[in-house]
Amino acid sequence: MNIRTFLVAAATLVVLLAGTRSGIASEAASPLEKSMSDTLDIWREGRYEQLFEKLAHRGKTSREKFVKIMSDSTTRPACCWQKMENFRIINEKVTEATVFAKIGLDRTSGTSESTSREFKLTHQEGVWKMQLADVVSIAGVNGKKRSSTYR
């Protein structure tokens, strides 16, 4: 191989590798998407105490109450690519953001469904956090005790 052929091949390789790197960087998840995905993973794995710490605006809901209502839920996020689709940032400020995503859900009955909606995230303690109310809403629980009737 002569020097000219070598230089052309090396230059072509550099151009191809540079194009590949920029493609990888553009596909990387935003901090908002990664935070939301991590939160959904923790929920799916049933680590409710850790989930409680990753949520914002907990209000009067105690950790114990949250763990109980989430344990009673028959819904959890789906796995893998069905967990979160069509993610897009609608509005992002320094301490809050609004995003849109389709969240896949699995029911203990064996059925699957999804919900597409906007979510508000808050930047606290150096990380983006989903709202506790959003998670409880998706889980299909409202935190109130259900009355039972006996016959």
pLDDT at 57: 84
pLDDT at 28: 75
The tally of CA atoms less than 13 A away on the side-chain side of residue 136 is 19
Give 68-94 pLDDT, tens digit per residue.
Answer: 999 999 999 999 999 999 999 999 999
What is the C-alpha separation between 91 and 77, in angstroms, rounded? 24
Measured N-to-C along each axis, helices 31-44 and 132-139 cross at an angle, to the nearest 10 degrees, of: 50
Give the ranges where 28-90 is alpha helix by DSSP (H). 31-44, 48-53, 63-72
Structural domain spans, the chain: 29-139
What architecture is domain 29-139? Roll (3.10)
DSSP symbol at 119: E
Measured N-to-C along each axis, helices 132-139 and 63-72 cross at an angle, to the nearest 10 degrees, of: 20
- Mean pLDDT over the full length of the chain: 84
